[in-house]
Chains A and B, each alone.
Chain A
Amino acid sequence: MTLDFTIVPSYFTLLLIGSGWTIAITAAAAVLSFVVGILFAVIALYGPALVRYPIRLFAWLFMGTPLLLQLFLIYFGLIQIGIDLPAFAAGVIGLGLHFAVYNSDIIQSGIRAVDKGQYEGARTLGLSRLQTIARIIVPQAVRSVIPPIGNNMIALLKDSALVSVIGVTELTLTAQLAISKTFHPFEFYLAAAVCYYVINLGLEAGLRHLEGRVQLSR
């Protein structure tokens, strides 16, 4: 079998659709990882022991094990206890939770770095503990940790390829679809790599723009 890149253009639309799904999965998982990351961070720092320790245990487990293993647990494991998630949902949840744990770690350090005076300033106005955390502490912490969280989102984009292993339709799986018809793996995986690279460039540019906009100084 020789290399023949002329067959790639006829699958252009397919790869484009795959790219669209990859972007959608990355975006959905990014939002999930961000929201859950904040939640985990707040619980880990302020929550009652009854929830704090289970969350820490969960974080410890998810940081110490491979993402692929976690995806297998969520997709093949949950169905055995009666939770039948569609592959797409399993993929987004798996990616989202995995990166939530890493985001939570970063956000926690961001929260610790917020000046104590901010807490006192809000409390003396009469804001409750929860209002202060939600409106004053977390918004500042999140702004200060956007660069490292952005790095996590870049990692998330690339790791989204893993959900093809549990059968989620995205860029890697559409490349495999083309391969199953043409038997030209080299060309199509390379084409997929190019697509990932371009999406990655876009994401990096977007993150740089965001960092510039929310820069915060006292």
Chain B
Amino acid sequence: MTDKPFIDIRHAAKSYGALEVLKDISLQVRKGQIVAIIGPSGSGKSTLLRAINDLDPLTKGEVWLEDMQVNKPLPPRQYERHINQMRQQIGMVFQHFNLFPHLTVRGNITLAPKMLKRLTEAEANALAEKQLAHVGMLDRIDYYPSQLSGGQKQRVAIARALAMEPKVMLFDEVTSALDPELVEEVNLTMKKLAEEHMTMIIVTHEMRFAQDVCDRVLFMDQGVVVEEGPPEVIFRNPQHERTKNFLRKHLQGNAQ
């Protein structure tokens, strides 16, 4: 593994009018690294994640994936083509699944590979089956999203993102909308990905999961990274008062 960053966020800043949501954040992630971003709501952690694939464009700063700039300044038409290319390499999973309700599980997974990678029906089907087997959902391939539980939907959403064979996966509070008893199956799926050395950036409220799975933890508050480091340092021995306060509240909350 080289020291060259796989994902490189340089001086990212974003504001809505006078409101600054991100204040000059820089972050490097190496290939195969698993990074958790924690922090109170409104800290800017989701905004930062959504800036990586330009869903929420930055006001200032650059995002690089390997040697390509994701938010490259280009004329609108060229930019549209460029960003669609980039997004195919960046998988994303959302809090509310965002599965397409008018398509079956199979349709959800094969849509983008067929349209964008020009896969044949048979190739796309084989791919869908492979990815669904991976998340343990192969038996639901011909179901509609409305027929699945929240945890199952989220596993399908992960399979859908994986089917594009992305270089990195972004997870935006993927277990926050789930009933507590459904959280574990999604966490296990993500753990499995971690063991396969997928590069992952995970915005989460689950401290225990972050502790178990991630190589690095970032604590964000009010648009800045307050503190970062390996999980054992951040969770056992945080340096900043803000981090301590946040963790005290959250670890208590988790214990209850």
Contact = CB atoms under 8 A, between A and B. Distances in A.
Indicate yes or no for A touching B, C-beta below 8 A.
yes
Contacts of B145: 218
Contact of A124 (B80, B87, B101, B146): B87
B126 interface: no
A115 B87 CA distance: 20
Interface string A108-136: 00000001011011111111110100011
B87 A136 contact: no
A47 B97 CA distance: 29
Contact of B102 (A115, A124, A128, A140): A140
* Residue of A118, A126, A127, A128 with highest tally of chain B CB at under 10 A: A126
Interface string B66-93: 0000000000000011001111101110
B96 interface: yes
Interface residues of A, number: 22
A123 B111 CA distance: 12
B100 interface: yes
A153 to B, nearest CB: 21
Contacts of A124: 53, 55, 87, 90-92, 161
Given A124-B53, A129-B80, A218-B146, A135 B98 contact: no
Contacts of A135: 111, 115
A217 B102 CA distance: 9
Given A121-B94, A126-B84, A139 B102 contact: yes
A52 interface: no
B251 interface: no
A120 B101 contact: no
Contacts of A127: 84, 111-112, 115-116
Interface residues of B, number: 30
A122 B100 contact: yes
Nearest to A142: B102
A126 B98 contact: no
Contacts of A128: 80-81, 84
Nearest to B116: A126
A126 B164 contact: yes
* Residue of A117, A125, A131, A136 with highest tally of chain B CB at under 10 A: A125
A143 interface: yes
A216 interface: yes
B114 to A, nearest CB: 10
Nearest to B89: A126
A134 to B, nearest CB: 10
* Residue of A120, A129, A217 with highest tally of chain B CB at under 10 A: A120
A165 to B, nearest CB: 40
Contact of A136 (B94, B96, B100, B157): B100
B96 A117 contact: yes
Nearest to B170: A124
A120 B85 contact: no
A123 B90 CA distance: 11
A125 B160 contact: yes
Contacts of A217: 101, 146
Contacts of A218: 101, 145-146
Contacts of B97: 117, 121
Contacts of B86: 126
B99 interface: yes
B101 A117 contact: no
Interface string B124-161: 00000000000000000000011000000000010011
Interface in A184-218: 216-218
B208 to A, nearest CB: 27
10 contacts: A120-B55, A123-B55, A124-B53, A124-B90, A125-B88, A125-B111, A128-B84, A136-B100, A216-B101, A216-B146
Q: Which 4 pairs between the two chains have the least Cβ-Cβ distance?
A: A121-B98, A126-B88, A125-B112, A117-B98
Given A115-B96, A122-B100, A128-B84, 17 more contacts: A120-B55, A121-B98, A121-B100, A124-B53, A124-B55, A124-B91, A125-B116, A125-B164, A126-B84, A126-B87, A127-B115, A127-B116, A139-B102, A143-B102, A216-B146, A218-B101, A218-B146
